[in-house]
């Protein structure tokens, strides 16, 4: 339901006006849990901390981080009363989920012009799944990635030439690894100019794309939101000539620095600009490219000249002072505030239809009925609209094709156009657990095609971390090993005994008929591919509190090891399950385990997963690429009496 700006009693909690905005409060019962909020830090149950929706380029995330790249303002309160809440607001929202007061949930929305939806279910059993489904009925069907996008993807920021990429491809093939794609990070472009390919570093690009594709390996280039400001560069020129750029209040083009240096930004909220930007993908589609990742689209702003100028003036004053500790900290705070500065976000505008702008209009309508909206007020919609534009363009430019698309920044609804990856994590053990927690929360918000940078993006990975991470990530739709420039190289062949990694990648391919079927079922039925145990075992108090085991599809439970030097872990089974151990490219053991607690030993080179009671799942023979998997020759694990329904896009 939608609440008008006035305050008063609501189906759950109450709302009041506060500081020009709206504050919704709900009294939490002792055992209430809160699931959702998509891409955020911390556990599956979000209770006990405070989160913010402000899409942020966040390379230094830790447990205290309140906002990441996306804003997903949907959560379910599960307990004494069970209901879902969706706060449809494009700007800053603060979610205090029992932080200031342990038993109070308080959502503070910056302005009162907001739609709040509540979702309920009359039955107790299955209420969590039903509420999640109702929410998706409102926000729309999830994007479906092509099947090959479930294959293994190798990526690294630093592959700078055809030779670099060829080396990755050849080495994996020589070692007999399955491989479906290699990402091309910013270095493939000419001076980081979107939609260009550096022909010196990538001669005969089209041939190269085709040669790899024949072998079953697709190239997946990155596209950044910031477009280099450079006279003669057609994308820049067209953007300015067409008036598709974000502008400042005085009508001048808004400029900020990102990877290419001084850059300009398409006004993705303007349908014409969105369409124009979408058309730019054509050059790469024509070269045979079938997948893209949209990046830096919060948008990340490293600096603006205006802000730099102000900052230099402020820093200059420190020169004449003898710096004490407080002064030094002030100095560093001011210097650090240059990136992604709130004042910069407040300094530019989008042009939208008067009726779409509502109370966000910052100007009177012009002769075409358009008004300006300040970027800050609708900040969280920027990446969403970049992804939306790309997706709409793919349908128009390549109607017969099926293009892979995932984005860093997003908002509720972007799940209709593409997937998301969880951004710049670290090679930290806790980030394996974090990725598990983010994946279920993202699924709840409709984003089914998700995954984390396996092995960690920032910091140096280690062999054991990469093995344990892979053993979990092989169950997630996006299965991509990605790392930052300057970190230890982490392609699987960089470590001793690559066959241990190969065995895990082979399991991924053996599982693809199952994983893709479950993914399609979730997309079709507005269901959840990955979910917390509470969704299927809501009467089991122990299961509802589990924070580090999840269900994948309807047949599997996974419980990854995410502690260094652990020889295994405790696993809680909410029902009898069959434990399956995969080792050396095949099933090494199967054992029925009763409901309850078990210590499960997991050797470093093994993957262990659990098949649920009365269920079985198919395993194919691993193949060099997804297209070569034979879906007709399958073995089954689990209960032989059970049945299993395979679903492919053709039968969709
Ligand atoms: C951003 C992305 C990362 C990418 C890097 C360089 O940090 O999140 O994945 O490698 O930019 O393009």
Ligand 1 pocket residue status of 423, Cβ below 6 Å: yes
Q: Model confidence over 364-410: pLDDT tens digits?
A: 999 999 999 999 999 999 999 999 999 999 999 999 899 999 999 99
3-state secondary structure (DSSP) of residue 112 = coil
Question: Is the peptide bond between 299 and the residue preceding it cis, with omega within 30 degrees of 0?
Answer: yes
CA distances from 551 to 39, 77, 440 (A): 18, 20, 9
Distance 159 CA to ligand 1 centre (A): 12
Q: What local confidence, expressed as pLDDT, does residue 323 receive? A: 84
309 C-alpha to ligand 1 centroid (Å): 27
pLDDT band at 7 (very low <50, low <70, confident <90, very high): low
Write down the pTM of the prediction.
Answer: 0.97
622 — phi, psi (to 5°)?
Answer: -60, 150
Residue 442 dihedral angles phi and psi, to the nearest 5°: -70, -40
Q: Structure tokens of 73?
A: 């303002």
CB-CB contact of 112 with 33 (8 Å): no
Beta-strand relationship, 21-27 and 104-109: antiparallel
299 lines ligand 1 (CB under 6 A): no
Evaluate: CB of 408 within 6 angstroms of ligand 1.
Answer: yes
Give the pLDDT confidence score for residue 321 in this predicted structure: 82
Contact at 8 Å (CB) between 221 and 289? yes
User: Cβ contacts of residue 286 below 8 Å, gap of 6+?
Assistant: none
Q: In sequence order, what are the residues at sequence separation of 6 or more whose Cβ sits closer than 8 angstroms to the Cβ of residue 204?
A: none
**Backbone phi and psi for residue 162, each to the nearest 5 degrees, phi listed first:** -55, -40
Nearest-atom index, ligand 1, CA of 408: 8
Instruction: Output the CA 295–ligand 1 centroid distance in Å.
Output: 7
Answer yes or no: is the C-beta of 222 below 6 A from any ligand 1 atom.
Answer: yes
Between the alpha carbon of residue 118 and those of residues 85, 160, 185, 378, 518, the distances in Å are: 5, 49, 41, 22, 28
Work out the percent of the chain whose per-residue pLDDT is above 90. Answer: 94
| Test site for ligand 1: of 58, 187, 295, 301, most ligand atoms within 8 A of the Cβ | 295
Whether ligand 1 lies within 6 angstroms of the CB of 518 is answered as no
Distance CA 597, CA 568 (A): 13
- Å from CA of 127 to ligand 1 middle: 39
**Over 90: is that where the pLDDT of 554 sits?**
yes
Strand partners for 70: 410
Structure tokens at 547: 């924070």
Which among 472, 481, 505 is positioned nearest to 609, based on CA atoms?
A: 472
Residue 619 has pLDDT above 60, yes or no: yes
Q: Encode 74-93 in three state secondary structure.
A: EEEEECCCCEEEEEECCCCE
548 closest CA partner among 437, 468, 453, 630: 437
Token digits of residue 207: 């041939």
Distance 194 CA to ligand 1 centre (A): 14
Please, which pLDDT band fits residue 354 given cuts at 50, 70 and 90?
very high
pLDDT band at 587 (very low <50, low <70, confident <90, very high): very high
Q: How far apart are CA 53 and CA 67, in angstroms?
A: 6
Q: Is 406 touching ligand 1 by the criterion CB < 6 Å?
A: no
Counting from 1 in the atom list of ligand 1, the atom nearest the Cα of 484 is 10
Q: What are phi and psi of 348, to 5 degrees?
A: -135, 170
Contact 112, 2 (CB under 8 A): no
CA dihedral 13, 17, 19, 20 (to 10 degrees): 130
Cα–Cα distances (Å) from 640 to 118, 132, 294, 312, in that order, read: 42, 31, 44, 71
Task: Give yes or no for residue 54 CB within 6 A of ligand 1.
Answer: no
Digit-coded pLDDT (tens) for 83-123: 999 999 999 999 999 999 999 999 999 998 899 999 999 88
Burial environment of residue 349 by CB neighbours within 10 A (0 to 12, 13 to 18, 19 or more): buried
Ligand 1 atom at shortest distance from the alpha carbon of 224 = 12
Tell me what pLDDT residue 8 has. Answer: 56
Task: Provide mean pLDDT across the span 281-295.
Answer: 98
Is the predicted pLDDT of residue 3 greater than 90, yes or no?
no
For residue 556, give every residue at least 6 positions away whose Cβ sits within 8 Å of its Cβ, in sequence order, or none: 475, 514, 609, 610, 611, 612, 617
Distance in Å, CA 482 to ligand 1 centroid:
9
The DSSP element (H or E) to which 63 belongs, if any, is: none
DSSP type of residue 640: T
Other residues' Cβ atoms within 10 Å of the Cβ of residue 230:
18
| Cα 39 to Cα 419: distance, rounded to the nearest angstrom | 12
pLDDT score, position 9:
65
Q: Is residue 254 in contact with ligand 1, taking CB distance under 6 Å? A: no
Q: How many CB atoms lie under 10 A from the CB of residue 630?
A: 10
Please indicate whether residue 298, judged by its CB atom, sits closer than 6 Å to ligand 1.
no
Average the pLDDT over each of 172-176, 320-324, 356-360, 446-450 and give the range with the smallest value. Answer: 320-324
- Of 585, 602, 572, the C-alpha closest to 464 is 602
Residue 418 CA to ligand 1 center (angstroms) comes to 18
Q: Whose CA is nearest to atom 7 of ligand 1?
A: 424
Looking at every residue in the chain, the average pLDDT score rounds to 96
Cα→Cα distances 143→69, 133, 387, 418, 520, Å: 19, 15, 11, 5, 10
- How many CB atoms neighbour CB 306 within 10 A? 16
Q: What is the spatial distance between Cα 17 and Cα 333, in angstroms, rounded to a whole number?
A: 33
| Residue 192 CB neighbour total at 10 angstroms | 20
Please indicate whether residue 295, judged by its CB atom, sits closer than 6 Å to ligand 1.
Answer: yes
- Let me know the angle formed at the C-alpha of 93 by 91 and 94, rounded to the nearest 5 degrees: 155
pLDDT value at 4 more than 70? no
3-state secondary structure 552-569: ECCCEEECCCCCCCCCEE
């Amino acid at each position: 339901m939608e609440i008008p700006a006035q305050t008063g009693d609501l189906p759950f909690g109450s709302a009041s006006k506060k500081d020009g905005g709206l504050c919704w409060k709900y009294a939490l019962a002792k055992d209430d849990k809160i699931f959702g909020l998509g891409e955020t830090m911390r556990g599956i149950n979000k209770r006990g901390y405070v989160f913010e929706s402000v899409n942020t380029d966040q390379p230094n995330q830790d447990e205290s981080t309140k906002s990441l790249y996306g804003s997903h303002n949907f959560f379910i309160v599960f307990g004494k009363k069970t209901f879902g809440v969706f706060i449809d607001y494009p700007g800053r929202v603060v979610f205090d989920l029992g932080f200031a007061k342990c038993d109070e949930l308080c959502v503070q929305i910056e302005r009162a012009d907001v739609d709040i939806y509540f979702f309920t279910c009359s039955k107790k059993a299955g209420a969590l799944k039903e509420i999640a489904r109702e929410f998706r009925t409102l926000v729309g069907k999830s994007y479906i990635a092509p099947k090959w996008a479930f294959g293994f993807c190798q990526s690294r920021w630093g592959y700078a030439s055809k030779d670099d990429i060829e080396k990755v491809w050849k080495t994996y093939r020589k070692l007999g690894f399955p491989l479906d794609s290699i990402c091309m990070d910013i270095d493939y472009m000419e001076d980081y100019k979107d939609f260009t390919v550096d022909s010196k570093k990538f001669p005969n690009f089209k041939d190269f794309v085709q040669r790899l594709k024949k072998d079953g390996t697709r190239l997946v280039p990155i596209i950044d939101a910031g477009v280099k400001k450079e006279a003669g560069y057609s994308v820049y020129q067209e953007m300015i000539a067409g008036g598709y750029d974000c502008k400042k209040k005085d009508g001048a083009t808004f400029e900020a620095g990102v990877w290419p240096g001084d850059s300009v930004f398409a006004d993705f909220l303007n349908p014409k600009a969105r369409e124009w930007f979408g058309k730019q993908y054509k050059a790469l589609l024509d070269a045979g490219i079938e997948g893209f990742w949209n990046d830096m689209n919060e948008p990340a702003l490293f600096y603006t000249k205006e802000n730099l100028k102000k900052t230099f003036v402020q820093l200059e004053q420190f020169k004449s002072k003898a710096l004490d500790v407080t002064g030094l900290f002030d100095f560093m705070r001011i210097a650090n505030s240059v990136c992604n500065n709130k004042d910069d976000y407040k300094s530019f505008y989008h042009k939208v239809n008067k009726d779409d702008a509502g109370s966000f209009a910052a100007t009177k309508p012009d002769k075409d009925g358009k008004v300006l909206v300040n970027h800050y007020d609708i900040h969280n919609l920027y990446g969403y609209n970049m992804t939306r534009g790309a997706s709409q363009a793919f349908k128009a430019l390549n109607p017969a094709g099926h293009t892979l698309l995932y984005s860093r920044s997003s908002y509720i609804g972007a799940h209709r156009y593409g997937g998301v990856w969880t951004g710049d994590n670290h090679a930290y053990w806790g980030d394996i657990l974090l990725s598990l927690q983010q994946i279920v929360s993202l699924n709840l918000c409709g984003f089914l095609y998700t995954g984390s940078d396996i092995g960690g993006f920032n910091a140096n990975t280690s062999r054991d971390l990469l093995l344990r991470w892979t053993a979990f990530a092989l169950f997630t739709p996006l299965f991509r090993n990605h790392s930052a420039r300057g970190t230890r190289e982490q392609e699987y062949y960089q470590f001793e005994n690559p066959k241990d990694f190969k065995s895990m990648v082979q399991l991924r391919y053996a599982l693809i008929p199952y994983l893709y079927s479950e993914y399609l079922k979730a997309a079709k039925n507005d269901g959840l591919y990955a979910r917390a145990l509470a969704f299927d075992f809501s009467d089991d108090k122990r299961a509802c509190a589990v924070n580090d085991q999840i269900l994948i599809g309807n047949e599997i439970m996974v419980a990854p090891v995410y502690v260094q030097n652990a020889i295994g872990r405790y696993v809680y089974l909410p029902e009898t399950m069959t434990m399956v151990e995969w080792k050396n490219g095949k099933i090494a053991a199967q054992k029925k385990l009763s409901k309850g607690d078990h210590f499960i030993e997991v050797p470093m080179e093994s993957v262990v997963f659990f098949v649920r009671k009365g269920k079985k799942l198919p395993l194919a023979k691993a193949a060099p690429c997804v297209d070569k998997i034979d879906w007709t020759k399958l073995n089954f694990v689990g209960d032989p009496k059970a049945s299993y329904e395979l679903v492919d896009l053709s039968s969709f």
